[in-house]
Structure 1
């Protein structure tokens, strides 16, 4: 299980390595540079599945797609 993902802000391009919660999806993320509040894209369960380099642990564990 990979617990870190690099999340990239679509507004300013800022990239940040973040530790993902092990047992839940993260619905919001505030960019550290521009302050934009990111939400998952339609069809994704969390911000890591939408903007990260690695899907969230629940998706990794299920071996599937976002719920």
Structure 2
């Protein structure tokens, strides 16, 4: 079993601002407000959370290949 990475760098697609955040292990984060431009980020259609869409590391459930709570299908 591989170690789960809990830190991910979220990069805003609107202004390019990047910030390291700690990912929740027991829930998906569907919204994230960019500190710089205040844009509210939402996951891309094919992703379960903002970390999967805009983070440097996928969320813990995806890392564990157990699926994510917001994943469809």
Compute the TM-score of the two structures, normalised by the length of structure 2.
0.84
- Give the alignment partner of residue 17 of structure 1, picking from 13, 17, 20: 20
- Root-mean-square deviation (Å): 1.7
More helix by share: 1
* Runs of 4+ with >4 A deviation: 63-66
Q: Which residue of 2 aligns with 1:31?
A: 34
Long gaps (5+) in structure 2: none
Larger Rg, first or second structure (1 or 2): 2
- How many residues end up aligned between the 2 structures? 67
CA shift for structure 1 position 41: 0.3
